[in-house]
Structure 1
Amino acid sequence: MSLRVLSRLDTARTQYCHFKAIIVAGMGLFTDAYHLFSIAPITTMLGYIYYDESPHHPIPHAVESAMLAVALLGTAIGQLIFGRLGDLVGRRRLYGLALMLIMAGSIGCGFSMGISKGYILASLGFFRFLLGVGIGGDYPLSATIMSEYANKRMRGAFMAAIFSMQGFGILASSVVTMVVCKIFGRSYPPSLNDPIPKKADIAWRLILMLGVIPAVMTFYWRMKMPETARYTALVENNVLQATQDMERVLDMSDCQIAEGHCLQPSQSSYLLFSKQFFLLHGRNLLACSSTWFLLDIVFYSYPHLQSEIYFMSQHDKDTADTVFDAAFKVARLQAIMACSSMIPGCIAAFFLIDRIGRLIIQAVGFVLMAIVYFSIGVPYDRYWQHHPSALFILYGLTSFFANCGPNTTTFILPAELFPARFRTTCHGIAGAAGKAGAIIGVVLMASLERRVTLIIWGGICAAGMVGTSMFTKETRGTSLEENED
């Protein structure tokens, strides 16, 4: 049975359905980033409310790390579970479920209740774990759906556009936090000697619950999306249904689809994790997992040092009068980083990835990150700790290189290299490995001495460059079926 419909997908001109898929899938990443990164100003507020925080006595590191790690643990579990189920029951059937978990987790975080500090924080941790499971489920599904919808000429750019929503999600969470803090802070007396600010307890809940809005806006469109043609044709072996679904999506008729180049369905029947699977795909799975693991150790741990260096360079670093002022400054830092490095890096990746290739920009990104970290870390005690403003700019460069390189490509490559019946599973495994690295980063790396941390980060980035050399092929300009062969 010929699979001309897949060939037509690869050669289809860019049209409305592709941009709609970017928005629908991208809003998941937008919501994910909103919640994963909004916790930084939230923990600042929690410190003031429950730990009598002042600029000199921050929230305990163990509590802050736990709030980050519990969501990352949920994300890893969600990637594994939804990744496997995405290959067993289909991408579309689970797409709405992942979003419902995100919405339930968002609202639950806002309604974290209890009779004491411990109960409230435990409740918040539980709902952040639930939120993380939904976020984890969204990663392999969004990446795979976009890769299977896209034409091969623009597939990398489309997936980079989806991933860029992470930067916009971070910016949105920062803007919402700043607006809420300004509104609530207008009527609050600016004195650290005042009683615990009850308004702050409402403010942090409101910030978290507002993150449900983009998820609600895209839920209907997710439920209306047809199953991807590649899953229907290659996994369910229903080519007729795949053709009919693509007629609804692509601006072409059935006869035009039938005129495409003839492809034959794969006759392979090897099982997941069988000897043949590892012979054919084990090296790529190891490369995807190891590079994502190494990247996330650095990516999720460096914001902590970045915030320290930023406030070192500010003359008003110890003048936060209220809980709202302190949270506002943390959110402002995240907004600055999103606008100056993360979003520009993603935009650069959008334009480069289908021209230069995934592996080149990933390797170059790792190399440039390693160079900057070594350049900061080795002479840190003699020079850089006395020039925090210049140091902050260099930190911004590492964020740009990450988003123009491995932070984007580690999301894209697992959705391109594996067969359709293992695609979300392998993406989930690679993503879960990344989140394991992230947990190591937020729990262990931030507690090390700063110069040592910087040098270790440089070594990790160098190892990521070596890991990139393990990939068996470049996926630029090739169809997903050619990658499988």
Structure 2
Amino acid sequence: MARDQLEVLNALDVAKTQWYHFTAIVVAGMGFFTDAYDLFCISIVMKLLGRIYFHVPGSKKPGTLPPNYSAAISGVALVGTLFGQLFFGWLGDKLGRKKVYGLTLMLMCLCSVASGLSFGSTPHSVMITLCFFRFWLGFGIGGDYPLSATIMSEYANKKTRGAFIAAVFAMQGFGILGAGFFSLIISAIFDSKYPSPTYEVDPIASVPPQADYVWRIILMAGAVPAAMTFYSRAKMPETARYTALVAKNAEKAASDMGKVLQKEFEGEQQKVDNIASETSWGLFSKEFLRRHGWHLLGTTSTWFLLDIAFYSQNLFQKDIFSAVGWIPPAQTMNAVHECYKIARAQTLIAIFSTVPGYWATVLLIDRIGRFTIQLMGFAFMTIFMFVLAIKYDYWTHKDHVIGFVVIYALTFFFANFGPNATTFVVPAEIFPARLRSTCHGLSAAAGKAGAIIGAFGFLSLSQSKDPKKTDQGYSPGIGVKNALLVLAIVNAFGFGFTFFVPEAKGKSLEDMSKENEEEAV
């Protein structure tokens, strides 16, 4: 039997879109802009790191990162993110969303700068230092996932809540674009101001001393957007749902939201006490398992499967573009110009597929629903990956490279107009307030576990060689083909597990979490 909703929470559910909604989107979204910038700018500079620190004198090929370094640098931030999601997700339910929100941002600012200042007397020590700082950078990034999603869901009205949460996450697309665009500018400036010959002409001079500044500047720039929103985060009031339903302070919730909505509310402490006395079950209880066990399986499994594919695609774009010939061979460029080419490719993919995909979700999520978008996204990702994998020899022929790039870009579009957005939105809507941040952190951490598998697994698969390589194609081996085939199968499983995820369109958070239902006697 349903109980009456608290007046202040009902007011939030039915509130028209107001300025505070957009303020919350910007404040939370800039964190995700920073998250994406920091996580994906590393893929742009990794080949540059190889050429700077791992050139073998007398070799006929430019220096490249050894596989163990490449895997560590790609994956260490993801490992940090996983632990950050678990820790800050739990802490957000224990101490409050606002109290730990600024800490994650501070950690990101400090570690972005520190990553660019990575030091050491040998290439090995520089890489170790870089990995250390990127782990803690990832730890701060991890905290942003559950906290930003939970804060936005608890501020939003039920009619447009999906769009608001998706808009916060869509800033990730601008972060990926920002990483590509800024890297494009920096590498172009250094390449024009300090021109150097190609590797074929002069292997040593093709890596000018100034190249060491390029990757450091790119990594350090991630601190700027995070620092810009620190003050705004500190000024945000705690969400009414945490203050009332978790902290059990009805007067404080009414006072805070009265200032936000410019309306007076009664405290309703007695109603809050009644709710608290009837909903004391925890995460590891039979009651949670009965109410939300299948839901948690759905959110963790789909995010896990999605991130295997999504992060493989993003972190190893440079390898795929080189494989199909969209980026020229490294021997024909100097180190900085190669960085420019990789940044240009990432920027084009972001402009024409990644960013539009995110905002298509924002526009349509409250119209067609989370479930439909997620199913559709997984379905198209599966189809396009199979098309690329099965006809890989055809697509990697020099006459069909553009077709490969177009289909590959479509997988990015439907990842973002699909499960990459919805897996972030849904866990912030369907769990109880006192467990919302924790459950979102668990779901997100499952995703990062998938991302780690994707990062290391793709690297392993892509290194297998094709003995049938001919001069007519660009394929470096059967590795990329096998990786695409595996990712297609992973996406198909994601489609199936989506059926465990409930639809939250148009429903209040308390309806979805069943917090407004009285316990059966």
Residue 254 in structure 1 maps to residue 264 in structure 2:
yes
Residue 354 in structure 1 maps to residue 357 in structure 2:
no
Q: 1:82 to 1:437 in 2, by over 3 A?
A: same
Residue 36 in structure 1 maps to residue 39 in structure 2:
yes
Structure 1: distance between partners of 2:128 and 2:31: 26
Q: Which amino acid in structure 1 is aligned with residue 369 of structure 2? A: G
Q: 1:320 to 1:19 in 2, by over 3 A?
A: farther
Contact 2:196 2:334 in 1 (8 A): yes
The residue number in structure 2 matching 1:328 is 340
Equivalences for residues 439-478 of structure 1 within 5 A: 439-448=452-461, 449-471=479-501, 473-478=502-507
Aligned equivalent of 2:144, options 119, 138, 163 = 138
The residue number in structure 2 matching 1:432 is 445
Equivalences for residues 84-483 of structure 1 within 5 A: 84-191=90-197, 192=199, 193=202, 194-195=204-205, 196-250=207-261, 252-254=262-264, 265=275, 267-303=278-314, 306-311=317-322, 312-314=324-326, 316-318=328-330, 320-381=332-393, 383-386=394-397, 387-448=400-461, 449-471=479-501, 473-483=502-512
Quote the sequence identity (%). Answer: 49
Q: What's the offset of the Cα at 1:305?
A: 5.7
Q: What's the offset of the Cα at 1:316?
A: 4.1
Structure 1: distance between partners of 2:66 and 2:454: 17
Q: Which amino acid in structure 1 is aligned with residue 497 of structure 2? A: G
2:153 alignment partner, SS class: helix
Structure 1: distance between partners of 2:315 and 2:233: 35
Structure 2: distance between partners of 1:25 and 1:232: 19
1:186 alignment partner, SS class: helix
Structure 2: distance between partners of 1:379 and 1:49: 36
Q: Which amino acid in structure 2 is aligned with residue 279 of structure 1? A: R
Q: What's the offset of the Cα at 1:114?
A: 1.3
Q: What's the offset of the Cα at 1:468?
A: 0.3
Q: 1:117 to 1:313 in 2, by over 3 A?
A: closer
Structure 1: distance between partners of 2:112 and 2:319: 28
Q: Which amino acid in structure 2 is aligned with residue 163 of structure 1? A: F
Q: Which amino acid in structure 1 is aligned with residue 442 of structure 2? A: I
Once structures 1 and 2 are overlaid, which stretch shifts more, 280-289 or 262-271? 262-271
Structure 2: distance between partners of 1:41 and 1:395: 18
Q: Which amino acid in structure 2 is aligned with residue 424 of structure 1? A: S
Once structures 1 and 2 are overlaid, which stretch shifts more, 50-59 or 173-182? 50-59
Structure 1: distance between partners of 2:340 and 2:458: 25
1:114 alignment partner, SS class: coil
Structure 1: gaps of 5 or more residues:
none
Q: What's the offset of the Cα at 1:61?
A: 2.8
Q: Give deviations 1:274-306, integer Å, cap 9, x for gaps.
A: 122111111111110000000000011123664
Give the TM-score taking structure 2 as reference length.
0.88
Residue 49 in structure 1 maps to residue 57 in structure 2:
no
Structure whose CA Rg is larger: 2
* RMSD, aligned α-carbons: 2.0
Equivalences for residues 15-34 of structure 1 within 5 A: 15-34=18-37
Structure 2: distance between partners of 1:55 and 1:351: 48
Q: Which amino acid in structure 2 is aligned with residue 41 of structure 1? A: I
Structure 2: distance between partners of 1:45 and 1:474: 45
Contact 1:304 1:446 in 2 (8 A): no
Q: 1:305 to 1:133 in 2, by over 3 A?
A: closer
Q: 1:148 to 1:199 in 2, by over 3 A?
A: same
Q: Give deviations 1:438-483, integer Å, cap 9, x for gaps.
A: 1111101233222222221111111001100012x21000000000
Give the TM-score taking structure 1 as reference length.
0.95
Contact 1:313 1:389 in 2 (8 A): no
